[in-house]
Chain A
Amino acid sequence: MAESAIRNALLMSISVAALLAGCGPEPVSRHWTAMSCNFEAAIHGSDGKVPPRSALDTLQDLSARYDSLFTDYDPSGPLSALRGKKGDTVRVDPEIIQVLTQALAVDRASGGSFDIGVHDLKQLWGIGSENAHVPPADSVKLYLIRRFGFAPTATDTLPSPLRILPDGRVVLLSDSLPIDLGGIAKGYAVDRLSRKLSELGYPVHLVQAGGEILTRARKPVGPWKIGIKNPRALDSLAGVITLDSGMAVSTSGDYERYFESDGARYHHIFDARTGSPARGGTISVTLLCPTSLACDAWSKPMFVLGPRRGRILADSLGLQAFWIRETSGGLCSRRTQAWHGRLAADAVPECASDW
C-alpha cells in the first residue's frame, strides 16, 4: 500500500515537473510601428520604477523620437543637414554623430561594404516600392561615376561621403548626397530602448525592431529562444538559437525586400562597387553580437563579403556568424568557430566549402 502511494506520488511529481518545465510568468509585451518597421518589447517582471505599461509608453515615445531623427524620407528632417555642398561643415544631433561614427568605422573595417550613401541607389532600383525594376546598365554606371567620380572595381577604395571632426561637426565630402542610416539606426534604437527599460527597473526584457533583436539578462525560467526563418521556406525555421545570458541577434537576407525579373531575384542589400544587389552567393546571414547596433551594421557587410572574406573579420570582432547559400542540392551553411553548437533544431547542413 505504502509502496503504491509512493510510486503514484513519484509518477505525479515527474508528470507535473515535465509539464511545467519552462512555464513562467507571462511577459508584458507591446507591438507598434516606427522607423518604417515593426517594434516589439516584452518585459519580464513587474516591479520596476513605473508600471510596465508606462515603461512601454516611454519606449514608444522614444522610438518616435528616433523615427524623426533618422528618417531619410523627410526633406526637412535632421539628416537633411548632411545633404549640402561638398566642403560644407555642418552640425547635427549628437545621437546622429554617434551613429555616423559607428557607420563610418564599419565601412572602413569592411573595406567599403557598408554604404550610408545608398539612398539614391535604392530609388534607382525602386526596391520595396511598386515600381521596382532593373535599371539600364548605363543608369547604374552613371550613378557610380556621379557618386564616386569613377566606376569602381573590386579592389578600389571607395571615398567616404563625410568626415567627422573632433568637435562633433561634420565635413561633407560629396555634393548633395542623401545619407541613409537605415542599415544601422534600428540597431541603435533597440540598444537605447533596452537601456531605457533597464533604467526603469526592468532588466529582463526583449526588444526588437524590424528583425533586430536584443535580449537582456536571464529570464525567470529557461533560455531566450529565437527562431531563424528558413530563407527559402519562410513558414519553417532554419534553426533555433538559445541564449542563456542575453545578446543581440540580426539577420540580413535576400528574402526581406526583393523583386524578381527574368527569373533572377533582386534584393535590397547593395554592393556599393557595382551599384547592384550583392551577388556573392549568400542568401542569408545571421549574427550574434554584444549590441544590436553592431549586429545591425555588420550584418550587411557580412552578407556582401560571405564566409570566405567575412569569417576572419567576424572572429577578430568577436561576432558569431551563420551564412546560408542556395545550391542546386538545396540550402547549406557555413559558420564561424564560435557559432558551432549555438543552433538547436539545426535544419541547414554545412556547405562543403566557403564562397
Chain B
Amino acid sequence: MPRLRFLGPLDILVVFGIGAGAALAWVAGPQAHGSRATAYVEGEAVAWWTLDGAPANDTVVGALGPVAIEHGNGAVRIMASPCPNRVCLRQGRVSRLHDQLVCVPSHLVIVVEDVGNRRDGDLDAVH
C-alpha cells in the first residue's frame, strides 16, 4: 500500500473526524434547538429573548392588547392572550429552530431562531 507522503495515521484520523463532524452537523442540524425567540407584531421585531436562561415572563403588546410570554429553559410559550379562541395558547412550548407561535388576532408571530451565523445543518423552513 503506498504511503501517504504528508499525512500520518493521526492526521488521517483528524481529517476523518472533521468530515464526520461536518456530516453530523448536516444531519443533526434539522433537530437543532434555537437559542433565541423573536416576537414580531405587524411585521416589526418588537422583542427578543434568549432561551437558555431560567424561565421568565414578559409582555408584548399586540393588536388586541398585551400578550403574556414565558421564555427560558430552552423554549418559549404564550401564557395569556386577549384573542377570542386562544388558539395560540394551545400551541404550547416551542423550542426548535423555525418553530413559530402565531396569534393572528393579535398580529403576533414569535419565531425560534439561532444567534449568529447560519450553519450547514440549518433549514430554510419547517412545515
Contacts and interface: CB of A to CB of B under 8 A. Distances in A.
A26 B119 CA distance: 11
Interface stretch (A115-123, A166-174, A235-243, A275-283): A235-243
A129 B118 CA distance: 37
A40 B125 contact: yes
Interface in B88-110: 94-96, 98-100, 102-104, 107-109
A103 interface: no
B6 A6 contact: yes
Contacts of B126: 226-229, 237
B13 to A, nearest CB: 11
B125 A206 contact: yes
Interface residues of A, number: 50
Is the interface on chain B under 10, 10 to 19, 20 to 34, or 35 or more residues? 35 or more
Nearest to A228: B127
Contacts of A21: 22, 120
B53 interface: no
A128 interface: yes
Interface in B19-46: 19, 21-22, 26-27, 30-31, 40, 42-43
Interface stretch (A30-38, A82-90, A135-143): A30-38
Given A7-B11, A33-B102, A56-B43, A23 B124 contact: no
6 contacts: A18-B21, A23-B118, A31-B40, A31-B100, A33-B102, A208-B127
Given A10-B7, A22-B120, A31-B100, 8 more contacts: A11-B14, A21-B120, A23-B118, A38-B100, A129-B85, A206-B125, A227-B30, A235-B96
